[in-house]
Amino acid sequence: MERVRLGIMGGTFNPIHLGHLMIAEEARQVFDLEQVLFIPSYMTPNKEVHGATAQQRLEMTRLATADNPYFMVSDLEMHRQGPSYTVDTIHYLQDHYGDRYSFYFISGTDTIQDLHNWNQPEEILRLCHVIGATRPDGTAGIDPVIESFGDLGKHILRLPVPTMDISSTELRRRLQTGRSVRYMIPPPVLDYIRKNGIYQCTVQN
Ligand SMILES: Nc1ncnc2c1ncn2[C@@H]1O[C@H](COP(=O)(O)OP(=O)(O)OP(=O)(O)O)[C@@H](O)[C@H]1O
Ligand SMILES: O=C(O)c1ccc[n+]([C@@H]2O[C@H](COP(=O)([O-])O)[C@@H](O)[C@H]2O)c1
């Protein structure tokens, strides 16, 4: 029996931007994924998160994905609370969806470069595929990481995408200093940021 392929787009999404949406859509089509489940982290391991609350990051993710019938949003990491370890999320999804499904965790190549520092990376690679979409930040060369995992390395998949030099860090800076973020953040997300005064936003439109 062929398994249904489900994409998992994990992220801090502080805020969500077109880079995230673009790699999720590319992964969906290239790997023939039935749907992509966006899962905003409650507490991202190894990262300090400032600016928006977890609930606001979840809401922005909902607004950004609402117009794509292949995208869904899950609040499972919000409910679990504590550090959002991916291995726990994949275990939960396996229990929840059963073995009719196979999972594809979508990420950028910077994330792949850091995989050895994650909680139980080998277990993650046993449970799912991890997709590394090219990021124009010098992290594209993931072959050494793939090799370092031995046989499990075959579960890391390369995804060449049109590189987009956008990051949430740069967007937070722009929002605070009034530089335009148009064409980088979906309009409903920018509206939400302005209405709720997130990131000390001074952008007018
Ligand atoms: N422009 C981009 N191109 C490709 N992948 C991206 C891009 N932006 C983010 N990603 C990937 O999306 C996932 C979630 O990213 P995250 O929410 O941390 O955004 P970020 O822009 O990297 O945030 P920050 O700048 O705050 O670190 C990560 O795996 C990251 O590598
Ligand atoms: O499980 C881990 O140890 C782990 C370490 C770092 C990041 N992650 C997950 O990877 C995703 C992208 O993280 P980030 O830092 O790029 O936002 C997000 O879902 C995080 O919860 C997971």
ipTM of the complex: 0.98
pLDDT band at 24 (very low <50, low <70, confident <90, very high): very high
In this structure, the residue with its CA closest to atom 23 of ligand 1 is 168
**Which regions of the chain does DSSP assign to beta strands (E)?**
4-11, 35-40, 71-73, 101-108, 129-133, 156-159
Q: What is the mean pLDDT of residues 185-191?
A: 97
| CATH of the domain spanning 4-165 | 3.40.50.620
Helix (H, G, I), strand (E, B) or coil at 104: strand
pLDDT in tens, 67-112: 999 999 999 999 999 999 999 999 999 999 988 999 999 999 999 9
Residue from 14, 86, 105, 124 whose mutation best tests the ligand 2 pocket (most atoms within 8 A of CB): 86
pLDDT band, very low/low/confident/very high, at 1 (cuts 50, 70, 90)? confident
The residue contributing the CA closest to ligand 1 atom 1 is 19
Ligand 2, pocket-test mutation among 111, 128, 135, most atoms within 8 A of CB: 111
Q: Which residue has the higher pLDDT, 108 or 204?
A: 108
- The reported pLDDT for the residue numbered 140 is 83
- 204 alpha carbon to ligand 2 midpoint, in Å? 32
| pLDDT number for residue 108 | 96
What are the boundaries of each domain within the chain?
4-165
- Identify the three-state secondary structure at position 133: strand
pLDDT at position 106 is 98
Question: What is the distance in angstroms between the CA of the first residue and the CA of the last residue of the chain?
Answer: 50
pTM of the model: 0.97
3-state secondary structure of 177: helix
Q: Which pLDDT value is given to residue 21?
A: 98
- Give residue 168 CA to ligand 1 midpoint distance, Å: 7
Q: How many other β-carbons are positioned within 10 Å of the β-carbon of residue 60?
A: 26
Averaged over 174-198, what is the pLDDT? 96
Task: For residues 101 and 153, give the distance between their C-alpha atoms in angstroms, rounded to a whole number.
Answer: 21
CA–centroid distance, 180 to ligand 2, in Å, is 28
Query: Residue 1 Cα, ligand 2 centroid: separation in angstroms?
Result: 31
Which long-range CB contacts under 8 A does 45-54 form with residues at least 24 apart? 45/83, 45/84, 45/85, 45/118, 45/119, 46/114, 46/117, 47/12, 49/12, 49/14, 51/14, 51/172, 51/198, 51/199, 52/14, 52/15, 52/198, 52/199, 54/78
Nearest CA to ligand 2 atom 3: 118
Question: pLDDT per residue over 116-173, tens digit each?
Answer: 999 999 999 999 999 999 988 888 899 999 999 999 999 999 999 998 899 999 999 9
For 48-77, write each residue's pLDDT tens digit.
999 999 999 999 999 999 999 999 999 999
